[in-house]
Amino acid sequence: MRLKHGLTLIELLVVVFSMSIILGAVSSVVLTSFRHTDRVKASRETSDRDARFEDRLRQLLQSAYLSTNQADTSSYFLSGTESDTTLGSNGTPGQLVFTALSDKVPSEMLNSTDDFETVNQIYGPHGAITEVSLSTSPVGEAPVQTGLFYRHQTPADGDSTQGGIETVFDSDIDTISFEFFDGADWLTTWDTQSQATPRLPAAVRVTYTRPSDNSSRVMVVRLIHSDVTPDNPVEQAPDGGQQ
């Protein structure tokens, strides 16, 4: 009869060594999977953040509006004027001030039985047009936050340099610049106050960066209230200005 033997020390060591190799390989696969999941999650969060920012900015720019009364000085679209000292990453103006259609009147405001002063205090002014300012430099005292600042005043008072309420539109914007399509070319300035016939640009090209970016991000917004097209461009004056 053959005697049955247990595992020898060498066989036991071989088994332990084999198991350690298998466990090491499995751990490496699991860690790689976790890292990949984290990268995908971070990329998705970044993409969602940029999509939300661009959607908000697109809606704001698309509300740009000029009064049909050319003598109305409280209606304008300005960027790159002499008073603008803020420049974006590519040297183009990093500040934009324009008038826009005001937000819709809330239904609860229409149904309110309060007097005018009370309604105005609760909901704020509505109607007419709103002055909007976008810049990385605040108009008022610099707050603790940095980023892109959004200033709005309803109704617009004709003074494009101040007034209204200023908040942080996005605290993670490092630089921003604006360019304007006149129906034929992209321009770095736009000033309806110097145009013989004030007109909105056909589109605005926005270039912005975040502190963590290695390159700039670009978006183009078509202004729905503009009548400028390639077939109906803004005429350029002999001195290079807009007519």
Taking only the tens place, the pLDDT of each residue in 195-242 is 888 999 999 999 999 998 888 999 999 999 999 999 999 986 655 556
Distance between CA atoms of residues 70 and 56, nearest Å: 29
Minimum mean pLDDT among 34-38, 53-57, 128-132, 182-186: which range? 34-38
pLDDT, residue 137, reads 86
Position of tokens 């077939």? 231
Helix H or strand E segment including 168: strand 165-170
**Does residue 235 lie in a domain region?**
no
Residue 128 pLDDT: 66
Q: Is residue 157 part of a domain?
A: yes
150, part of any domain? yes
Residue at 215 is within a domain: yes
pLDDT the model gives residue 19: 83
The reply to whether 229 falls in a domain is no
Q: How far is CA 109 from CA 87, 118, 121, 210, in A?
A: 40, 11, 11, 39
Q: What is the pTM of this model?
A: 0.71
- 113-117, 127-131, 151-155, 159-163, range with the lowest pLDDT: 113-117
pLDDT at 180: 96
Q: What is the mean pLDDT of the chain?
A: 80
Tell me what pLDDT residue 84 has.
47
How many domains in the chain? 1
Domain that holds residue 212: 49-222
CB 230 within 8 A of CB 203: no
Domain-located, residue 24: no
The predicted-structure confidence for 39-72, as pLDDT tens digits, reads as follows 767 778 888 999 999 999 999 999 999 988 777 7
Q: Give the H/E segment covering residue 170.
A: strand 165-170
Percent of the chain with pLDDT over 70: 74
Angle at 128 between CA 124 and CA 130, to 5 degrees: 70
Asked whether residue 34 is assigned to any structural domain, the reply reads no
